[in-house]
Amino acid sequence: MNKFSELHNKEIWYEVNDKTNVESLNKVCQLEYTTLFCHVKNLSKLNRIKVPQSMHIALLVDAPSDLENLKEALKQPDKVSYVLTEQVEQIEALRRLGNWGIGLYTAVDNREDLDRVTTNLLSTDLTIVTFKDPTNIPLELVLAVGQSNKTRIFKRVASAEDGGISMQTMEKGSDGILLASNKMQEIMDLAKALSHANLVQLELKEALVTGVLHAGMGSRVCIDTTSELFQDEGMICGSTSNGGLLICTETHFLPYMNLRPFRVNAGGLHLYTWGPNNLVPYLSDLKAGDRVFAINSKGQARVVTIGRIKQERRPLLMISATIEGTPVNCFIQDDWHVRVFGSQGEIRNSSEIKVGDKLLGFLDQPGRHVGLKIKETINEV
């Protein structure tokens, strides 16, 4: 049985250096970068822009005394989330100075450097490493040691290509990338690489339809997202934590109304839907700002944010199926314009589904409490 994959929340940071210009900073602030990394000597660069509300600042200091006049030197000192040092012996002193994460900024040029980095991983919240050689073997070794603790490991790179590969090294990849480049194309390409690295692969399976029932009136939920959804995407919805069926986005022909490229007409209020970090919430629990998976017919899942939940009374259709012998079912709006995916990724109108048809479904290990995975004896029918 397929185990549900967890989303690794990777980040991309941007290094502010002597040559960084306002144009580059403004572009970074418009993309998926979460943090501006800056040596204290370059604080004036940060004061030339207004750091967005969702973005943070990480400072590299030469000594703890560099932080004494931080409020006077930086216009937005409340944005500082990490302070980093190149000196291991400064870590505890920096930790006592403020309520921020503490990081180590270091380079690996040889085996001695590598041993030093892995030895000190437990002492910090985050470690940023610059590697001398183009091979990712040293990164693999750091990741192997770091997987047993909560220290986040970032790699400093000069290109988006290097960053994209590093985010997938040893499957898990680095927790984040620090881009040290002022080239606009590299800045934009790394943001694209982040989207690809954060895809989660789910194993979709054939669901054999065993029953179709006109189930009467019920509360139906539409999930409206803040992202553009595509014709080969949908959301997994099911009545039980065993799994569900892949319901299409509203991106297919509608004769009497415009398409809704942000929407999935998901179905009954009681249904589960699948999302990041191994959470499987009820549709009734969802609200604006929550995140769920948009999944294509190949099982590639990306995270989208909910902008609105639209609940209305509508006639419902119950589709029952088995996936490798395990029963699943889904209640969707009983109307021709609601589509589900066939087992080959084809689009099927709900009103045409019949016993014996093969749809696209997802099989999960049962057992959920308020959407969280738990180990218990459970029988859902």
Question: Domain segments of the chain: what residues?
Answer: 11-198, 204-373
Confidence at residue 118, expressed as pLDDT on a 0 to 100 scale: 86
204-373 classified as CATH 2.30.30: no
Confidence at residue 340, expressed as pLDDT on a 0 to 100 scale: 98
Confidence at residue 359, expressed as pLDDT on a 0 to 100 scale: 98
Interatomic CA distance for residues 254 and 263, integer angstroms: 13
What residues of the chain score a pLDDT lower than 50? 1-8, 369-371
Confidence at residue 196, expressed as pLDDT on a 0 to 100 scale: 79
Confidence at residue 315, expressed as pLDDT on a 0 to 100 scale: 97
Confidence at residue 8, expressed as pLDDT on a 0 to 100 scale: 45
**Minimal CA–CA distance to 196: which of 303, 278, 307?**
303
Confidence at residue 372, expressed as pLDDT on a 0 to 100 scale: 53
Q: What is the 3-state secondary structure (H, E, C) of the chain?
A: CCCCCCCCCCEEEEEECCCCCHHHHHHHHHCCCCEEEEEHHHHHHHCCCCCCCCCEEEEEECCHHHHCCHHHHCCCHHHEEEEEECCHHHHHHHHHHCCCEEEEEEEECCHHHHHHHHHCHHHCCEEEEEECCCCCHHHHHHHHHHCCCCCEEEEEECCHHHHHHHCCCCCCCCCEEEECCCCHHHHHHHHHHHHHHCCEECCEEEEEEEEEEEEEEEEEEEEEECCCCCCCEEEEEEEECCEEEEEEEECCCCCCCCCEEEEEEEEECCCEECCCCCCCCEHHHCCCCCEEEEEECCCEEEEEEEEEEEEEEEEEEEEEEEECCEEEEEEEECCCCCEEEECCCCEEEHHHCCCCCEEEEEECCCCEECCEECCCCCCCC
For 11-198, CATH gives: 3.20.20.120
Confidence at residue 249, expressed as pLDDT on a 0 to 100 scale: 97
